[in-house]
Homo-oligomer: A and B are copies of this chain.
Amino acid sequence: MSRDQSPRGGRLAIVGLGPGGPGWRTAEASALLAGASDLVGYGTYLDMVEDQPAGQVRHRSDNREEGERAAAALDLAAQGRAVALVSSGDPGVFAMAAAVMEQLDRPDRPAAWEAVEVVVSPGVSAAQAAAARVGAPLGHDFAVISLSDNLKPWAVVESRLAAAAGADFVLALYNPVSRHRPWQLGHALAVIGHHRSPGTPVVVARDVGRPAEQVAVVALGDLAPEAVDMRTILVVGSSTTTRVRVPGFKEPGVYTPRRYPGGPSGLRE
């Protein structure tokens, strides 16, 4: 996985920072950040990269216009720069990797981009970090769903929630609310509530891995949508997800057993 730090035609590395500081960052991501001539990203994410080598240029953007940001990063790389386009978590999960691919899929894709070497460097996602803090809620089949209806119809969100909850998946919910999407989480919890008991454990994780981290486990029936903001992700248990007392944890943990009711005794692998 070694990368040439200064390819001839320029490079665009789409880099996952992991959920917070450098502890949950991969060695490859750290090397790509250190070797970049230019970092491009949402300002909050750029601030998560502590070390800035001499001469490295940082291009800060706001959290909208991901398409424009992706195109700008490709343009920079086409000029021969070694660009790192940063995402929090995993760039492949509701983040910048798809935004770059969308630009590359444009019918009017600039010829200058052909010389760029594109690489995607994965990272630990926020849902995985939240899960680690409380035990193993993602230990069995799970679905990862963005509640944002900015780019998909809300009916699709609801139908996916109903299908996944009905089939008893654990649910990892990204982008639960935003300033412009105030009511969606309440509707989502109503859909889920048709398939889950009010006592189902829900992991409410805000700023996981950052100094302001807050992780709590609450019962589905007690979850107040107004207590959730856009920096929070939720992990809603399946019917088998259960609390467990874990030595060394301040709060009770949560896990989803590998065994499912009615299953064989295992040990055939």
A interface residues (Cβ-Cβ under 8 A, vs B): 1-2, 11, 18, 20-28, 30-31, 63-66, 90-95, 97-102, 104-105, 113-125, 128-129, 131-133, 135-146, 148-153, 155-156, 159-160, 162-164, 166-169, 178-181, 209, 230, 242, 244-249, 253, 255-260, 262-264, 266-269
Contacts and interface: CB of A to CB of B under 8 A. Distances in A.
Contacts of A97: 131-132, 135-136, 139, 255
A260 B102 contact: no
Closest 8 CB pairs of A and B: A98-B139, A152-B260, A163-B167, A117-B248, A101-B255, A1-B23, A97-B136, A120-B132
A246 B128 contact: no
A144 B141 contact: yes
A267 B179 CA distance: 12
B116 A122 contact: no
A260 B144 CA distance: 16
